Amino acid sequence: MYLSRVTIGGSTDYLHSLLANERQAGYTIHQLLWQLFTEETKRSFLYRVEMEKNGTPIFYILSSVTPTIQHRFFKIETKPFLPKLTTKMKLAFSLRANPTICITDKEGKQHRHDVLMHAKKQIQLNANNYNQDDIHNLMQQAALNWISSEKRLNKWGISLNHLPDIKAYTPERIKKSSGKIMAFSSVDYQGTLTIEDPALFWQQYQQGFGRAKAFGCGLMLIRTI
**DSSP per-residue letters across 135-185:** HHHHHHHHHHHHHT-HHHHHHHTEEESSPPEEEEEEEEEEE-TTS-EEEEE
pLDDT band (50, 70, 90) for residue 24: very low
Residues 6 or more apart whose Cβ sits within 8 Å of residue 51: 57, 58
Q: Report whether pLDDT(53) > 80.
A: no
Side chain identity, residue 219: L
Q: What is the mean pLDDT of the chain?
A: 85
Between 44 and 199, residue with greater pLDDT:
199
The CATH label, of 1.10.357, 1.10.287, 2.30.30, 3.30.70, for the domain at 90-197+217-224 is 3.30.70
Q: Per-residue pLDDT averaged across 103-111, rounded?
A: 78
- Please tell me the distance from the alpha carbon of residue 62 to that of residue 4, in angstroms, as a whole number: 7
**Among 216, 212, 206, 225, CA closest to 62:** 206
pLDDT band (50, 70, 90) for residue 21: very low
Task: Render pLDDT for 112-159 as a digit per residue (tens, 0 to 9).
Answer: 888 988 888 888 887 777 888 888 899 999 999 999 999 999 999 999
> E-assigned strands of 32-99?
46-51, 57-63, 74-80, 90-97
> How deeply is 61 buried, as exposed, middle or buried, from its count of CB atoms within 10 A (0-12, 13-18, 19+)?
buried
Fold of the domain spanning 2-80: Alpha-Beta Plaits (3.30.70)
Q: Are 188 and 61 in contact (CB under 8 A)?
A: no
pLDDT band (50, 70, 90) for residue 23: very low
Task: Render pLDDT for 55-105 as a digit per residue (tens, 0 to 9).
Answer: 678 899 999 999 876 666 788 899 999 999 999 999 999 999 999 988 877
Ranges of each domain in the chain:
2-80, 90-197+217-224
Helix (H) or strand (E) holding 6: strand 2-8
- Write down the H helix ranges in the chain: 13-18, 22-34, 115-126, 132-147, 150-156, 198-207
Q: Report whether pLDDT(41) > 70.
A: no
What is residue 152's predicted lDDT score, i.e. its pLDDT? 97
